[in-house]
Every structure is written in C-alpha cells, then in structure tokens.
C-alpha cells in the first residue's frame, strides 16, 4: 500500500472536519516602561486574545547592589542606603537595620527613642498605604481618589519632615537611638534631638484628617459598584498559596492569615498598644484594598495611643563614637507597610559588616505573579499587579 | 445662490460653531476635573482663568514632530485621524440649531446620524491596525468590539423617540416635542419640561450610556485604557495627528450631547418662544443643553473607574438591549392606545 501524504490523509479522514484553526499566541511585552508597572518591572506575557496563557516576570532593572555596597560602608553609613530600598516608606526600612546592630552590640535603646521610632514608623505606614489608596484606583481608571489621598499624605510627610528633615529618606535612626540635633553647637550635640514643638498637637490633627480621608475613600472607592465589579473575586490568592510563596504583610492578611509581626515579635514597644489586625476573607483584590484601608485606621489608632504613652527621657543610649561591632550574626525583621522586612547582618568584628542580606517584602510578594496571572485577562493583570502594592526598589534592592 | 458657495458657507459655519464648542468643553473638563480633585487646573495661559489652555495645547501639539513608526502601514496610519474627525463632524450636518438653522434637514435624519456615528470607529480600527504596535492593535480591536455591542442599544433607544414623534427628521422631532401637551389637570408650568426627558427616560439613560461607550470615555474607555494599553490606539500618534484624534474625541462628545439634547431635551426649543425668535436664540439654547449633558459626561469620567471589556459586553447585551426593547414595546403600546 502506498504511503499517503499525511496532509492528504488528514483531508480524507473524518478528523479533518474537526480540525480547528490554530492561532499562535501573541507575545506582549509589558514594561519595563509602562504606566502600571510601578517603575521598571517587565512582564513578558503570552496572550491569546486578551487572556494571558503564560507570564514571565523579568526583574533587575532597578538593581543597585545595596547588599554589596553595605559591605564597604560603616554601619552608620548603611542607614542612608537602606532608606532607599522601599522609598515609599523610607523610615520603616531603617528601624530593623539599626535594631540588628543594637542587638549585636547589646545596646539598650531608651524608651522615648523607641516610641519616637514607633510613631514615625506608623506614620510611614500611613503614607505608604495612602500611596496605595491613591494609585490603585488610578490603575483601575479612577483618577480622583489620587488627589484626595495624596493631599492628606502630604500633611503626614510634612510632619515626618519636621522631625527628621527628610520627606522620603529621613535617615533619622542612629545606633542606640535617634539622630542628634542638627546644627545645635557643641552643648546641644550632647543631647539628642527631641520632637519639635507642637508636634503632638499637629500629629493628632493630621491623624483625624487621615481618618476622615479614609471615610471619604470608603464613600468614593470602596462602595463604588464599578470598583467592586473590577476587584471582587479577581486575583484570588488562597491562604495556603500565599504562605507557599512567602507572601507577607497586607497581601497575606487579605488572604485570611492573621499574621502580623507587630504582634509576634517586635523590636518596638507595640506590647502596650491596643490595635486590631484587619484580615480579609476571600483574598481577592478588593480584600487587599480593604485591608490596607483598615490598616491606615489602625495605624492612626497606634499613633494616637503612642502619643499619649510616650515617656520623657534620653533619646540616645551611650554608644562609642566609632562603632566596632563584635563578631556575630543576627536576623532582625519587622512588619513594614509592604510586608516582612528583615536584615541578616554578619559581623566579623570591626567597623564594616561582613555581609548584609536584605529580605524585602515586595520581592517575595511578587514571586506569586506567574501563578496568579496565568489565565487572567490583561485588564485584570493591571488590577492584580496594583493590588499587590510593590515597589521596584524593594524588589531589586 | 451658487450651490458651492452655499456649501462652503455651511461647512464654514459648522466648523465655526463646533470646533470652538469642543475647545470650550476641553477647557470645562480641565477646570471641572480640577475642582473635583481639589486642584486649581489651568490658570496661566490666556490670563486669570487659563481659558486659552486648549489653544495652547493645540499649538504645542502642532509644533511636535509627526512621527510615523517604521513598521507602520504609513498610508492607513496617516489617514486614520481624518476618518475619525470626519465621522464626528459629519454628524453636525443634520443637527438643527433652529427651525431653519440646519445645514441639511434630511427626512432620515436619525438614520443618517446613527450610520455616520459608527464611521469614526473605522478610523480607530485603522489607527490600531496600522500602528504596528501590539497595544494599539488591542486597543483598536477593543474599540471594534465596543462598537458592535453599543450600536444596538443606541439604535433601540432612538426608536422610542421616533415612535413618539412619528418622524425620523430631527426638526420634526423637535417640533413634536414643542407641540406636546400634558394633561389639562396638571398645572401649566409642567409644559416647560421637555416631554421626552420624562416619557423616554429609559431611552435617555440607555442613549447616554451607549454614547459614553461610543465615545470611549470612562467608564468605557477600554480602547485607550491608559494603565493597561499605555494609550491604546493613540500610542504611536504624535503632533498634529494626535491633535486630530483629541479634537475628534471632544467634537464627538459635543455631537453625541447635541443628539441627546435634540432627541430627549427638546433641542433648540424653548417653551413659549416663537419660531422666528428661535432661529436666533435656538443655537444658544441648544449649546446650553449640550453643556449640561457634557457636564454629566465629565462628572462620570472623574468619578468612575474603567470597566472590563467582558463587563461592558454583559451590560450591553444583558441590560441595555432588553431594556431598550422593552422601552419600544411600551412606547408602541401607548402610542397605539392613546
């Protein structure tokens, strides 16, 4: 029997009737320059129509080598670097790092300095979450919440600036306490910088305003049917998947896992402060939004309580002028706005660390992208990407 | 009068009325959105209120390089903005600004309107296809899908009005609205309410929703979708051609608002004013109504987020089209009974 040409055989057989016209998937390159990738994240997506069949995140465009840079700098210099990891909440990056050094040195930080750190960390959390509150609706197409949320954030940043001198990169923490007063002459240098006059009253007012803007956002965004249509049931992350991928922070809590480092192991005096951990039910984009909105309210509560409780006293422990950290290693982590931020510091003795490993929240939070975006639509890609609230500086370091 | 001279005057008049109106609406959008977002908005160009900002923007765009991507289908790419602008400007031909102030009073005015209004989508599809950009392509295809979904509710919404007025000519529809008498038992002041705004309220809502989709404005701006597709079919355009699209978008807004005002709000008609006077103040009345509807569009845009393409389709097919059909049935029923 002669061999039929396979194409002819196909044509003759019944199977030919059901052969579908196959169209190749289109490769859509999203980023590194794209309005909704928050900087320079690149996503190489294979799309079938508008449905994503596979996705390949490419990171590293923002790599600045901070871990390597830390190996050739003194400990005091490194705080200026770690500020810039997650630049939306610069202050909260510093705290776990100096806490790690304090642990290695065995220094006890005065309580007032602890409380100042706590207040400013929570204010950094508020400002970071307000950025999310403003940018997330923008990604869904609503640009009005942006202006209102950022207006209140500006007041919070002004307060941060009044204490630290920097809006984004405070560089305010010192090993053993907080920054000494700037330009105060030799007698003033002996004392540490205290909070500026009128800070507490201004902070209370700012917190009231932030709470008010949270209510405004509830009316404008949370209750908006179209926002809910875009976010409810979109990008569902089940709790076990969230844990598998090492997610942390509001993203993890939105999936229903009640885990907050502020309650578990904290380097700041959260023990005496009463606050709730908001958790989501479904782990969808809407829950991630609502959890953050609620966290702003809780952060306001924390700040208000901390203002009531803050003791007087010194702001700086006695530490030598030239820091020589004894041999040893430690890992200190803290609950940052984006999630768990940790520093693994190894010291061989001397003025510079041997190695600093930075565990950043956004990097781990983003690792779920290929799993969660497979099979989603391109518009949902934007909704999911925005809801994870990452900062590229925090991903690449 | 010489035919060509008359044509030239009419074209000139349409352009002279519509393009400034579009500019005014661009300015209104800049200012209104600024107030909604606790901003100031433009305040420099042209003096205190920044009234010349749209003109300044246009001048700036004209100075920019007119880029054509190397892989683009240059001829189609260059033609697309003109198709878009032409499609919207052609709508103004049949719009009556007064009993006699109309460029061409067609008997099939509505039919012409609906046919021409889909032309600009062709331009959008051309732009999306010829740009040789995947974002543009997705944007163009989204626009085409949107057109298919929303042309139908638009037509269904208009049919109710046509049944009520018993005519397809826009001038007759306005006359029918001015002749409408409410029941004698009601106080006389109700006669100042445009009748179709109440009687065809369902049609009005469907028409406004569908025209938002037709204009691809938020919440239906998926063809542009800045955060997803950078700028959709507009991504590659620059300079004068971008201005054409931009102007076309706002001229389209004016046109759709004008159609909605004519069909549902009584057009140039003002209660208690004779036809002779209406020829003069009619344009002002119509423009006021256009501005009112444009304000609603602007308001929507700065309040809502963007829907998803499949959600848009389900709104069109599951809600607007059945509602439009029901509206026709009810309207027809009452037309026969009364």
| Residue A47 is assigned to a structural domain of this protein | no
CB contact under 8 A, B306 and A379: yes
Concatenated DSSP letters for A340-386?
EEEEEEEE-SSSS-SEEEEE-HHHHHHTTHHHHHTT-BHHHHHHHHH
In a domain, A87, yes or no: yes
Q: Where are the alpha helices (DSSP H) in A141-237?
A: 144-164, 185-190, 199-217, 225-231
Inter-CA distances, A148 with A196, B197, B307, Å: 27, 35, 22
Query: Is the residue at A23 inside a domain?
Result: no
CB A206 within 8 A of CB A132: no
CB pair distance less than 8 Å for B303 and A380: no
- Token representation of residue B92: 């103004």
Chain A interface, mutation test: which of B34, B135, B227, most A Cβ atoms within 10 Å?
B227
Q: Which residue in A33, A22, A37, A21 sits closest to A373, CA to CA?
A: A37
Contact call for residues B294 and B283 (beta carbons, < 8 A): no
Classify the phi-psi angles of B47: left when phi > 0, otherwise alpha if psi is within -120 to 50, otherwise beta: left
Q: Which helix or strand (DSSP H or E) is residue A46 part of?
A: strand A42-48
Tens-digit pLDDT profile for residues A279-330:
888 888 899 999 999 999 999 989 989 888 888 877 777 777 778 888 888 9
- What pTM, to 2 d.p., does this model score? 0.84
Query: Hey, is the C-beta of B147 within 8 angstroms of any chain A C-beta?
Result: no
A66 vs B104, which has greater pLDDT?
A: A66
Q: How confident is the prediction for chain A on average, in pLDDT? A: 83
Chain B interface includes A150 (CB < 8 A): no
pLDDT in tens, A236-294: 888 888 888 888 889 889 888 888 888 888 788 888 888 888 888 888 889 999 999 99
Percent of chain B with pLDDT over 70: 98
Instruction: Provide the domain limits for residue A355.
Output: 75-361
User: In this structure, what are the phi and psi dihedrals at residue A341, rounded to the nearest 5 degrees?
Assistant: -115, 125
Short-list A297, A284, A131, CA closest to A218:
A297
Pick the residue from chain B with its C-alpha nearest to A135. B227
CB pair distance less than 8 Å for A230 and B221: no
Number of domains in chain A: 1
CB A369 within 8 Å of CB A58: no
A233 touching B, CB under 8 A? no
The pair of three-digit structure tokens given for residue B195, joined into one six-digit string: 């009748």
The residues, any chain, with a CB within 8 Å of residue B37's CB and separated by 6 or more, are: A143, A144, A146, A147, A148, B302
User: Rounded to whole angstroms, how far apart are CA atoms B67 and B265?
Assistant: 43
- Selected for mutation to probe chain B from A138, A221, A379 (highest B CB count within 10 Å) is A379
Chain A positions in Cβ-Cβ contact with residue B33 (cut-off 8 Å): 144
Distance CA B106, CA B91 (A): 12
Enumerate the H helices of chain B as residue ranges: 3-36, 53-63, 74-89, 109-117, 119-130, 134-165, 170-179, 195-199, 201-214, 226-229, 239-264, 275-301, 309-315, 321-337
Nearest to A167 by CA among A177, A155, A179, A178: A155
Q: Which residues make beta-bridge pairs with A54?
A: A46
Is residue A9 scored above 60 in pLDDT? no
pLDDT band at A183 (very low <50, low <70, confident <90, very high): very low
Q: In this predicted structure, what is the pLDDT of residue B221? A: 82
Is the pLDDT confidence value at A188 over 70?
no
Does some domain include residue A385?
no
Name which of A50, A147, A227 is nearest B305 (Cβ-Cβ).
A227
Cα–Cα distance list, B205 to A70, A252, B168, B330 (Å): 62, 42, 20, 16
Lowest-confidence pick of A157-166, A339-348, B220-229, B298-307:
B220-229
3-state secondary structure of A27: strand
Task: Determine the average pLDDT of the residues in A354-359.
Answer: 90
Which chain B residues are within 8 Å of A36, Cβ to Cβ?
Answer: 227-228
pLDDT at residue B191 tops 80: no
pLDDT of residue A20: 63
Q: Establish if A172 belongs to a structural domain.
A: yes
Is residue A182 predicted with pLDDT exceeding 60? Answer: no
Neighboring chain A residues of B36 at a CB cutoff of 8 Å? 144
Nearest Cα of chain B lies from the Cα of A223 at a distance, in angstroms, of: 11
Q: What is the CATH number of the domain that holds A311?
A: 1.10.645.10
Q: Distance (Å, rounded) from C-alpha B152 to C-alpha B144?
A: 13
**Cβ B227–A380 below 8 Å, yes or no?**
no
Looking at the complex, report in whole angstroms how far the Cα of residue B24 sits from the nearest Cα belonging to chain A: 22
Amino acid A185: pLDDT: 45
Say what the ipTM of the complex is.
0.79
Strand partners, A339: A336
- Express each pLDDT in A49-95 by its tens digit: 788 888 888 888 888 888 888 888 888 888 888 888 888 888 888 88
Give the residue-averaged pLDDT of B153-162. Answer: 88
A14-23, A109-118, A222-231: segment of lowest average pLDDT: A14-23
| The pLDDT value given to residue B322 | 92
């Amino acid at each position: 029997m002669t061999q039929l040409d396979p194409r002819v055989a196909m044509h003759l057989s019944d199977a030919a009737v059901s052969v579908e016209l196959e169209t190749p998937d289109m490769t859509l390159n999203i980023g590194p320059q794209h309005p909704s990738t928050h900087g320079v994240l690149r996503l190489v997506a294979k799309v079938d129509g508008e449905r994503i069949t596979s996705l390949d995140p490419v990171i590293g465009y923002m790599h600045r080598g901070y871990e390597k840079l830390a190996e050739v700098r003194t400990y005091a210099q490194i705080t200026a670097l770690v500020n810039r990891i997650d630049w939306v909440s610069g202050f909260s990056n510093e705290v776990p790092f100096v806490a790690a050094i304090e642990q290695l040195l065995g220094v006890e930080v005065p309580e007032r300095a602890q409380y100042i750190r706590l207040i400013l960390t929570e204010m950094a959390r508020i400002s970071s979450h307000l950025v999310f509150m403003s940018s997330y609706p923008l990604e869904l197409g609503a640009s009005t919440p942006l202006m209102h949320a950022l207006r209140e954030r500006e007041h919070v940043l002004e307060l941060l600036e009044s204490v630290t001198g920097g809006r984004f990169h405070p560089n305010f923490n010192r090993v053993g306490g907080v920054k000494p007063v700037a330009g105060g002459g030799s007698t003033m240098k002996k004392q540490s910088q205290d909070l500026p006059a009128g800070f507490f009253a201004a902070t209370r007012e700012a917190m009231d305003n932030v709470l008010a803007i949270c209510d405004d956002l509830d009316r404008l965004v949370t209750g908006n049917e179209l926002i809910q249509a875009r976010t409810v049931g979109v990008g569902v992350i089940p709790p076990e998947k969230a844990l598998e991928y090492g997610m942390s922070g509001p993203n993890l809590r939105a999936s229903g896992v009640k885990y907050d480092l502020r309650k578990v192991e904290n380097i700041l005096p959260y023990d005496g402060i009463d606050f709730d951990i908001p958790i989501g039910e479904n782990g969808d984009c809407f829950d991630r939004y609502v959890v953050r909105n609620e966290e702003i309210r809780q952060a306001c509560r924390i700040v208000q309580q901390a203002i009531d409780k803050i003791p007087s006293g010194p702001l700086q422990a006695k530490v030598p002028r030239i820091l020589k950290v004894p041999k040893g290693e430690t890992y200190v982590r803290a609950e940052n706005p984006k999630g768990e931020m940790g520093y693994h510091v190894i010291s061989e003795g001397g003025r510079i660390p041997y190695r600093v490993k930075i565990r950043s929240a956004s990097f781990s939070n983003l690792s779920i992208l290929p799993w969660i975006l497979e099979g989603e639509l391109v518009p949902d890609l934007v909704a999911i990407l925005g809801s994870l609230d990452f900062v590229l500086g925090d991903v690449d370091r | 009068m010489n035919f060509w001279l008359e044509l030239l005057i009419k074209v000139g008049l349409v352009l002279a009325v519509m393009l400034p109106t579009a500019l005014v609406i661009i300015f209104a959008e800049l200012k209104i959105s600024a107030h909604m977002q606790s901003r100031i908005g433009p305040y420099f160009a042209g003096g205190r209120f920044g009234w010349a900002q749209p003109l300044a923007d246009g001048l700036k765009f004209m100075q920019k390089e007119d880029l054509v991507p190397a892989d683009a289908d240059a001829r189609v790419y260059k033609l697309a903005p003109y198709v878009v602008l032409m499609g919207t400007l052609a709508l103004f031909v049949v719009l009556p600004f007064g009993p006699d102030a109309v460029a061409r009073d067609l008997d099939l005015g509505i039919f012409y309107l609906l046919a021409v209004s889909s032309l600009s989508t062709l331009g959008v599809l051309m732009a999306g296809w010829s740009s040789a950009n995947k974002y543009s392509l997705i944007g163009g295809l989204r626009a085409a899908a949107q057109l298919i979904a929303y042309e139908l509710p638009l037509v269904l919404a208009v049919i109710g009005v046509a049944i009520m007025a018993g005519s397809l000519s826009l001038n007759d529809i306005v006359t029918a609205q001015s002749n409408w008498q409410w029941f004698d038992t009601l106080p006389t002041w109700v006669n100042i309410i445009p009748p179709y705004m109440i009687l065809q309220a369902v049609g009005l809502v469907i028409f406004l929703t569908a025209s938002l989709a037709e204009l691809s404005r938020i919440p239906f701006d998926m063809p542009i979708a800045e955060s997803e597709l950078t700028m959709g079919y507009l991504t590659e355009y620059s300079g004068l051609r971008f201005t054409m699209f931009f102007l076309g978008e706002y001229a389209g807004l004016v046109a759709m608002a004008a159609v909605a005002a004519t069909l549902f709000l009584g057009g140039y008609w003002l209660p208690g004013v004779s036809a002779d006077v209406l020829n003069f103040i009619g344009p002002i009345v119509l423009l006021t109504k256009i501005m009112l509807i444009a304000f609603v569009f602007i308001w929507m845009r700065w309040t809502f987020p963007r829907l998803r393409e499949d959600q848009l389709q389900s709104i069109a097919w599951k809600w607007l089209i059945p509602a439009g059909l029901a509206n026709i049935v009810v309207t027809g029923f009452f037309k026969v009974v009364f």
